[in-house]
């Protein structure tokens, strides 16, 4: 088994661009933690023979929980499952939650990797996004955290119409100045039913500009290359020993368990997902009932997911895996469908793997959709 993902569905405030499941009402935190522990216990039989290699606390904003609440969840995992001797245990965190006391306390737990949602080191950007922290807090938390955690990744966002090229470069240089060994960098996108979508429609926020995003992505490739960071996935840059093991397992199609409201699980052929409602989730687990639905993925869906995730990585799509899992005919169809993209230098075949080129990296998702089975 690849790992366990735990969704913490609470935030202090709603970021304007976010469409993940969360609640700003934290009154049910204690009941939620008990429900997560119950779900972990009830699902033990699903992975009796598996070794847990990664554990990931995501959200939402996981750091709204207290340190002892993380410890209690980890205790249940270690008591219930077989965990690797050297697991990667990641905690997503917001800068405003990471004061000196909390970081010191976290460093004494089994958590060994922090994923900090910086987004920008410019307060004007953070205000536009409706983030809960400011630029000073973004820098301060890294000053405090870096002596205690060697494995730190930060999130940065680019492509905002109000962000200049120089501001984007400054964000990257500030991150490098803290010795950060891994970055996750995302282009701002307009998700449906978000505040950002509403603001753009009514004209109070400028629309997204693909040219700005493309230029920022070009700057990102240049600056990370200068630092020796490897671009191993569309949005991920790091030194090889600091690649995200948990996220890499997703991209390589390994099975995983998702725990908490709205969390998804995958066992290789079946996908399941928990109810996206905190109260219903808690009530269901209080009654010893697992609150999820599931579906068996069709060959087309499994193939399309492999294309989508595989092309985003530097490892690409294994043509041997395609032939073994989906058949010779589908492999031949993939090669035929990719001909024009290879001729246009968007794709290349290396060592029996279909890979995206530097020219195609910014267009990875669109290129993948051209190769889907329909």
Is residue 200 over pLDDT 80? no
189-226 burial: b if 16+ Cβ within 10 Å, else e: ebeeebbbbeebeeeebeebeeebbeebbebbbebbee
**Contact call for residues 37 and 259 (beta carbons, < 8 A):** no
User: Residue 129: its pLDDT value, please?
Assistant: 79
Cβ–Cβ < 8 Å for 11, 60: yes
- Most confident region among 157-166, 235-244, 264-273 by mean pLDDT: 235-244
**Beta carbons within 8 Å of 352's beta carbon, 6+ residues apart:** 318, 319, 320
Burial class (CB in 10 A: 0-12, 13-18, 19+), 43: middle
Task: Specify which residues 349 forms β-bridges with.
Answer: 354
Distance CA 182, CA 61 (A): 20
- 19 pLDDT band (50/70/90 cuts)? low
Higher pLDDT: 157 or 210? It is 157
Structure-token match 């989906």, residue found: 326
Strand spans (E) along 211-350: 230-233, 236-238, 256-259, 264-266, 270-274, 292-296, 317-318, 347-350
H helix or E strand, kind and range, residue 84: strand 82-93
What percent of the chain has pLDDT above 90?
79
Q: Residues 348-374: pLDDT tens digits?
A: 999 999 999 999 999 999 999 999 998
DSSP class of 40: H
Residue 13 binned pLDDT confidence (cut-offs 50, 70, 90): low
**More reliable by pLDDT, 37 or 126:** 37
pLDDT of residue 175: 97
The token pair at 38 is: 């119950």
- Pairing relation of β-strands 353-356 and 292-296? unpaired
Angle between helix axes 135-145 and 100-107 (nearest 10 degrees) is: 40
- 236-238 and 152-158 beta bridge pairing: unpaired
Query: Prior bond to 60 cis, omega within 30?
Result: yes
| DSSP per position, 260-282 | STT-EEE-SSEEEEE-S-HHHHH
What is the pLDDT at residue 127?
84
Q: Which whole number is the average pLDDT over 249-274?
A: 93
What pLDDT, on a 0 to 100 scale, did the predictor assign at position 18?
61
What mean pLDDT comes out for the span 337-352?
A: 97
How many whole angstroms separate alpha carbon 77 and alpha carbon 55? 9
What pLDDT is recorded for position 171?
Answer: 97
Residue range 266-293: average pLDDT? 95
Q: What domains, with CATH codes, occur in the chain?
A: 3-251 (3.20.20.70), 299-369 (1.10.10.920)
User: Does residue 20 have a pLDDT over 90?
Assistant: no
Mean pLDDT of 320-332: 96
* Residue in 182, 155, 195, 188 with CA at minimum distance from that of residue 171: 155
**And the tokens for 333?**
């169809």
Tell me 89's DSSP state.
E
pTM: 0.93
- Give the confidence band of 23 by pLDDT, cuts at 50, 70, 90: low
- The pair of three-digit structure tokens given for residue 313, joined into one six-digit string: 């990585």
């Amino acid at each position: 088994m690849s790992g366990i993902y735990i969704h913490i569905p609470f935030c202090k405030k709603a970021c304007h661009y976010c469409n993940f499941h969360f609640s700003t009402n934290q009154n049910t935190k204690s009941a939620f933690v008990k429900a997560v522990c119950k779900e972990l216990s009830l699902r033990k039989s699903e992975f009796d023979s598996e070794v847990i290699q990664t554990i990931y606390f995501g959200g939402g904003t996981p750091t709204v929980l207290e340190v002892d609440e993380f410890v209690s969840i980890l205790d249940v995992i270690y008591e219930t499952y077989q965990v690797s001797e050297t697991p990667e245990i990641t905690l997503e965190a917001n800068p405003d939650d990471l004061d000196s006391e909390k970081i010191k306390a976290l460093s004494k737990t089994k958590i060994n990797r922090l994923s900090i949602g910086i987004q920008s080191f410019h307060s004007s950007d953070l205000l536009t996004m409706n983030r809960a922290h400011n630029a000073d807090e973004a820098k301060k938390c890294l000053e405090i955290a870096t002596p205690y955690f060697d494995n730190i990744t930060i999130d940065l966002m680019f492509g905002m119409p109000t962000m200049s090229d120089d501001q984007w470069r400054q964000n990257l240089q500030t991150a490098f100045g803290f010795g950060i060994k891994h970055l996750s960098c995302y282009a701002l996108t307009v998700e449906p039913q978000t505040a950002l979508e509403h603001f753009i429609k009514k004209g109070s926020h400028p629309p997204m500009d693909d040219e700005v995003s493309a230029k920022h992505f070009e700057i990102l490739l240049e600056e990370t290359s200068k630092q020796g960071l490897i671009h191993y996935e569309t949005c991920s840059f790091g030194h090889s020993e600091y690649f995200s093991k948990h996220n890499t397992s997703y991209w390589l199609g390994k099975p995983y368990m998702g725990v908490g409201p709205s969390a998804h699980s995958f066992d290789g052929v079946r996908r399941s997902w928990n109810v996206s409602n905190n109260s219903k989730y808690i009530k269901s687990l209080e009654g010893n009932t697992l609150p999820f639905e599931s579906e068996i993925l069709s060959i087309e869906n499994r193939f399309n997911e492999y294309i989508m995730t595989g092309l985003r990585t530097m490892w690409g799509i294994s043509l041997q895996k395609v032939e073994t899992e989906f058949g010779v005919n589908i492999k031949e169809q993939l090669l035929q469908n990719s001909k024009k993209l290879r001729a246009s230098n968007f794709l290349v075949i290396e060592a029996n793997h279909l890979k995206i080129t530097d020219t195609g990296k910014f267009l990875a998702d669109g290129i993948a959709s051209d190769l889907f089975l329909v």
